[in-house]
Amino acid sequence: MIETIPNLMPQIRDRFAHVDQCPFTGERIFFENAGGALTLKSVVDTSATYAAIPDNQGRDNPASRALVDVINRAKADARDLFGASGGQFFVGESGTELLFRLIRTAAMNAPSGGNIVGSTFEHPASRSAAIQWAEHSDRPYLSVDHQIGIGLVTPGDYAAVVDAKTRVATILHASPVTGMGADVAGIAAAIRAVSPECFIIVDGIQNAAHGTLDIDSYDVDGYVISPYKMFSRHGYGFAWVSDRLTALSHEQLLNGPKETWEFGTRDTGSYATMTDVINHLDWLGGHFSTSDTRRDRLVAAGQAILDHEKALTDAMIHGIGNLKGLASYADVEIIGGTDNPKRKGLVSFRIKGRISPDVVTALNDRGIRTHTRKADHYSGGILTPMGWDDAVRVSVCHYNTTDEIRAFLSAMQEIAQG
Ligand SMILES: Cc1ncc(COP(=O)(O)O)c(C=O)c1O
C-alpha cells in the first residue's frame, strides 16, 4: 500500500496542485475526485508552455515539427497506458462529445435493423447518445437493468437482453454514483457470444484514474476518458478507437485522410499533458515494480492505486481505530452495500431523515469537500429506482490519505449526532 512505503505519500502529494488548499476557501480535504481529480503540477506547467506557442502543426518549420513530435509521442505513450496494441487515439471537446461521436458513427453505419443495447448503470453521456441514435437509425433501444443491491451491471444482465441482432452496445466501466466497476471484458464477451460483429463503445471516464486499463483484453471498439478526471485538466476528452470503427464512414473533411478522427487544429498541450499523466503513473509504478518495461510499471501503479483506494474506502465504511465507520451508524445507508468487492474509490451514502445537501454543507463547513448527487438527469438512473432523492458522494484518489479519512469520520461523528 502506498502509505506503507516511507516518504512516498508526501512525494505524491507534492506532485499535485491545490492538494490541501482550495484557492477560494483555503485549507480543505479534497474528496470530490469523481467531479474532477487534482491536477498534476507538471500538467499546469506543460499547459502554459504549449499555450504560449503560436505555431500550428503540419508546417515546414522546426517548431511545427516539434509540435507534431509531441502529439505522436503522446499517442505512443497512450498505448502503454491503455494497453492497446492496435487502433488509434485522438482528442475531442469532452468525454461526452466523444461518446456521442463514437456511438453516432457506430449507429449510423451498422447494418440496418436489429437493436442497440445499453444499461441503466450508465452515465447519461453514453445512454443519451445510444437512445438518440437508436431512434435516428430506426432501431429499438433495449435497456439492461443494473442490479440495485450491488450498484452494478454484470455480464449475465447483458446476456439476458442482447441478441444476434444487437448492432451497437454501450458499457459504463465504473459508475460515478455507485462507485462500482463493471467487468467490461466479461460484458463484451457476453455480447459477442451472440452478436460477434456488434460495435461496443465503453465510457471509461470514471474508471480511468482507478486501476489499470487493458484495452487489448476488452475486445471493444471505443473507449473514452476525460483527462480532467485522470490528473490532467479540463478542455478535452481522449478516445481510443478500433481500426474497425475507423473503417466506418465518419465525419471528416472532404478528401482528407480516411483514418482521421480529429477535427481541426489540435491543442498540442492536451496531448502533452497526457504524457505528463503517463509519466506520473510510470514514476508511481516504479515504486511497486522493478520491471524495465513501462507497461509493467503502469500496471503496477494501477494495482497500487486500487489497493490504496480500497484501504481508504474500507476505513470510511468500517472505521479506523476508535473512529466509527459509516456502516456503524444505524441511520446511514450505503449504495452497493458495505463490503462490495467492485468498489473503486467512491462511497455514496445518505443519512435517513436528513437531506444530503445539508450533510455536504456540514462537511464543507468542516473543511471537507464532497458532493451531492441528486435524482436528476445525471444520477436519477441510479437513485430513482432506489427511491432516493439524493446521496452524499465521497470520492478518493491515490493521493488521499488515511489521516484525511480520519478527519472525515470525526466530522461525521459530529454531523450524525446533529
Ligand atoms: C462516467 C462518466 N461519464 C461521462 C461523464 C461526462 O464527462 P465530461 O464532462 O468530461 O464530458 C462523467 C463525468 O463525470 C462520468 O463520470
CATH for 332: 3.90.1150.10
Distance 224 CA to ligand 1 centre (A): 10
Distance 205 CA to ligand 1 centre (A): 6
| Residue nearest to ligand 1 atom 2, measured at CA | 205
DSSP string for 389-402: SEEEEEE--TT--H
Burial of 320 (0-12, 13-18, 19+ CB in 10 A): middle
* Whether the CB of 123 sits within 6 Å of ligand 1: yes
For the residues 330-353, what does the mean pLDDT come to?
97
Give the pLDDT band of residue 418 (cuts 50, 70, 90): low
What residues make up the domain containing 314? 2-40+294-417
Interatomic CA distance for residues 199 and 179, integer angstroms: 26
Q: Which of 229, 270, 377, 382 to mutate to test the pocket of ligand 1 (most atoms within 8 A of CB)?
A: 229
- Point out which residues pair with 141 in neighbouring strands: 116
Both 163 and 235 in one domain: the answer is yes
Residue-level pLDDT at 365: 97
- Whether 287 is covered by a domain: the verdict is no
For the residues 311-316, what does the mean pLDDT come to?
98
Is residue 276 within 8 Å of 46, Cβ to Cβ?
yes
pLDDT > 90: what percent of the chain? 98
* Whether the CB of 203 sits within 6 Å of ligand 1: yes
Residue-level pLDDT at 417: 79
Is residue 154 within 8 Å of 161, Cβ to Cβ?
no
Q: How many CA atoms lie within 13 A of 254 on its CB side?
A: 0
pLDDT tens per residue across span 281-297: 999 999 999 999 999 99
* Whether the CB of 125 sits within 6 Å of ligand 1: yes
* Whether the CB of 289 sits within 6 Å of ligand 1: no
- Whether 288 is covered by a domain: the verdict is no
Is residue 117 within 8 Å of 159, Cβ to Cβ?
no
How many domains, the chain? 2
Domain boundary among 246, 280, 314: 280
Give the pLDDT band of residue 213 (cuts 50, 70, 90): very high
Q: Of 262, 211, 240, 230, which is closest to residue 43 (Cα–Cα)?
A: 230
Q: Where are the beta strands (DSSP E) in 70-213?
A: 88-92, 115-119, 141-144, 166-172, 199-203
Find how far residue 298's CA is from the centre of its chain: 16
pLDDT tens per residue across span 341-351: 999 999 999 99
* Whether the CB of 232 sits within 6 Å of ligand 1: no
Both 248 and 273 in one domain: the answer is yes
* Whether the CB of 356 sits within 6 Å of ligand 1: no
- Whether 36 is covered by a domain: the verdict is yes
| CB neighbour list of residue 269: distance below 8 Å, 6 or more residues apart | 46, 47, 49, 50, 51
- 279 is written with which cell numbers? 509519466
pLDDT tens per residue across span 74-109: 999 999 999 999 999 999 999 999 999 999 999 999
Number of continuous H segments (helices) and E segments (strands) in the chain: 14, 15
Both 271 and 377 in one domain: the answer is no
Pairing relation of β-strands 26-27 and 21-22? antiparallel
Is residue 268 within 8 Å of 71, Cβ to Cβ?
yes
Q: Which contacts of 1-5 are long-range, i.e. CB under 8 A and separated by 24 or more positions?
A: 1/304, 1/307, 1/308, 1/311, 2/304, 2/305, 2/307, 2/308, 2/398, 3/308, 3/311, 3/401, 3/402, 5/287
Interatomic CA distance for residues 47 and 270, integer angstroms: 7
For the residues 315-344, what does the mean pLDDT come to?
97
Residue-level pLDDT at 1: 79
Mean pLDDT, the chain, whole residue set: 97
Both 104 and 161 in one domain: the answer is yes
Give the pLDDT band of residue 224 (cuts 50, 70, 90): very high
Give the pLDDT band of residue 275 (cuts 50, 70, 90): very high
| Predicted confidence (pLDDT) at residue 57 exceeds the cutoff of 70 | yes
Residue-level pLDDT at 273: 98
Both 149 and 210 in one domain: the answer is yes
Q: How many CA atoms lie within 13 A of 33 on its CB side?
A: 31
Q: Where are the beta strands (DSSP E) in 227-378?
A: 237-241, 332-334, 346-351, 368-369, 371-374
CATH for 218: 3.40.640.10
Give the pLDDT band of residue 212 (cuts 50, 70, 90): very high
Residue-level pLDDT at 211: 96
Cα separation of the two ends of the chain: 35
- Whether 138 is covered by a domain: the verdict is yes
Both 124 and 172 in one domain: the answer is yes
- Whether 379 is covered by a domain: the verdict is yes
Interatomic CA distance for residues 43 and 279, integer angstroms: 11
- 346 is written with which cell numbers? 467512491
Is residue 404 within 8 Å of 29, Cβ to Cβ?
yes
| Predicted confidence (pLDDT) at residue 187 exceeds the cutoff of 80 | yes
| Residue nearest to ligand 1 atom 8, measured at CA | 95
Domain boundary among 235, 254, 280: 280
pLDDT > 70: what percent of the chain? 100
- Whether 128 is covered by a domain: the verdict is yes
